[in-house]
Structure 1
Amino acid sequence: MCGRFALTDRPEGVEALLGVAEVEAFPPRYNIAPTQPILMTVGGAPRPEGSNLPDRRALLVRWGFIPSWAKNPKDMPLLINARSETAAEKATFRAAMRHRRALVPASGFYEWRRSGKGRTQAYWVRPRSGGPIAFAGLMETYAEPGGSEIDTGAILTTAASRDLADIHHRMPAVIRPEHFSRWLDCVRSEPRDVADLLAPVEEGFFEAVPVSDRVNKVANTGPEVQERVEPEVVEEEVAERAEQLRLF
């Protein structure tokens, strides 16, 4: 899954990655949490003749998907992720998969490895070659009973690459820049036509950096949440396994 991520790259780098213009300036965000605003890019209106930019627009949405048919969002679970393998079949995400596919720029994401004793070790998972990158996302505009509208979104997940599977079995689906246009084209491409883009990235694409539990608290928003620490939980488990093997 993806429960926290970061976007610390400069706005001009995000603009260049996504092929959009005039992304509003934003400060580095080291600990983006559910229900907070996140940046998404969707297919937009055609550009003026002569423009060399793709037909895309960037917008801020609430991280927490609300389907258009929901009567009372408070009665629904917080939908921050959608499984890429089944999203096109689920009533909650079916329309968005067909009509409102999106890109979510990110510098990386956080994941937690649970130990046998119920403890966890947090990891900052970042592209080995640097960022930013784009996660596959879904966007939906929800009309509230009072008449106001709110844009909402979710991040699509896929199976973890083999080198990250021991941390968690799921990870965000990454869309490569050469496939942005196909992913965002909801006119000519149906969900089955872009299903191949949601495969796990190859081993080595990401590196996992052990970090402290400071990232667990939403209030901790500085770069210190990404500082490397010694993975105590992992080391203890390795020692325990070694001792068990010695006894046998």
Structure 2
Amino acid sequence: MCGRYVLIATEQQIIDHFSLRRLANYQPDYNIPPGQKILNVVQLEDGSNKAVYLHWGLIPSWSKDRGIGNRLINARAETLAEKPSFRAAYRKRRCLIPATGFYEWHRTESGKQPYHIHYPDNRLFAFAGLWEHWENETETVYSCTIVTTGADAKIASIHDRMPVVIRPEQYLDWLDKKSEAVDVLSFDQSAAYHDMRLTPVSNRVNNPAHNDADCLT
């Protein structure tokens, strides 16, 4: 799964990397938890990219209770086309979720050891994401989820799941609004994760209230 991640790129780096016209209200974040608004990149009708902030925890449009989002922070790549919670978004509302790293916890005899998983230079990459629009009589919520898949050999040493990473040359394929038949399992995760590092960090990251460079120590 992916339940906490990092985005510490500069505003200009994000604009350039994702071909954005502008990026408002951005602040680097060392410890991003579910349940808050996170940066997403979506494709507009004219084919351009736009930065939006969506609630992390997908709320299906048909749900009567927005609380379902607490259980849908991740979506399994293997069943996106089948699950009622995700299949419509998979066809029509795919997005990119910018990141510079993510955290995973490995169970040991002495407790859970957190790892920061990232490229050596902490360069930008993107998770495959889905987004949804939900509303009732009193509120409207735009929400998202991070797509995960079975871990490759490297990540499997600490966890059995990992987020699907979309490489830059594949961004347009994933975002393409004209295509409803994008096979998420066709994106080569061995290539995407090849250069990533697994760096053990302190338990400071366990508390989502901690949001500073010490989370990566």
Q: Which TM-score applies when normalising by structure 1?
A: 0.82
Match of 2:200 among 192, 202, 210: 210
* Total equivalences in the alignment: 217
Moved more, 8-17 or 96-105: 8-17
The amino acid that maps onto 1:151 is Y
Other-structure match for 2:133: 141
Q: Distance in 1 between matches of 2:78 and 2:190?
A: 11
**Alignment of 1:2 onto 2:20:** no
Cα separation, 2, equivalents of 1:191 and 1:84: 11
1:26 equivalent in structure 2: 26
| Structure 1 residues 135-214: aligned runs within 5 Å | 135-146=127-138, 148-192=139-183, 194-197=184-187, 199-201=189-191, 204-214=194-204
Deviation sequence 1:157-203 (CA, Å, 0-9, x none): 112221221111111111011111111013134134x5412645455
**Deviations, residues 141-166 of structure 1 (Å, cap 9, x unaligned):** 111332x3111000001122212211
SS in 1 for 2:155: coil
| AA of the residue aligned to 1:220 | H
- The answer to whether structure 1 residue 65 and structure 2 residue 22 are counterparts is no
Distance 1:190 1:75, change over 3 A: closer
AA partner of residue 177 (structure 1): P
1:59-138 map, 5 Å = 59-74=52-67, 77-116=70-109, 119-138=111-130
Do 1:160 and 1:200's aligned partners in 2 also have CA atoms closer than 8 Å? no
Stretches of 4+ moved more than 3 A in 1?
A: 198-204
TM-score in terms of structure 2 length: 0.93
1:13 counterpart SS class: helix
Q: Once superposed, what is the RMSD of the aligned Cα atoms? A: 1.7
Listed as ranges, the gaps of 5+ residues in structure 1 are 47-53, 228-248
Deviations 1:194-230 (A, max 9, x none): 5412645455321011111110101100110001xxx
Decide whether the 8 Å contact of 1:3 with 1:34 is kept in 2.
Answer: yes
Distance 1:200 1:159, change over 3 A: farther
Which structure: greater strand fraction?
A: 2
For the 8 Å contact 1:65–1:152, the answer to whether it is kept is: yes
**C-alpha displacement of 1:133:** 0.4
Distance 2:187 2:81 in 1: 14
Q: Distance in 1 between matches of 2:51 and 2:74?
A: 20
Provide the C-alpha distance between the structure 2 equivalents of 1:116 and 1:90, rounded to a whole number of angstroms: 36
Instruction: Flag the structure with larger Rg.
Output: 1
Please say which of residues 67-76 and 35-44 is displaced more in the overlay.
67-76
Partner SS, residue 220 of structure 1: coil
Shift, 1:25, TM fit: 4.5
CA distance in 2, matches of 1:25, 1:100: 23
Unmatched 5+ stretches in structure 2: none
User: Identical aligned pairs, as a percentage?
Assistant: 38
How many Å separate the matches in 2 of 1:198 and 1:149?
36
CA distance 1:130–1:21, shift in 2 (3 Å): same
C-alpha distance after superposition, 1:25-84 (max 9, x if no partner) = 4221000001011111111031xxxxxxx5221100011110000011236652110011
SS at 1:123's partner residue? strand
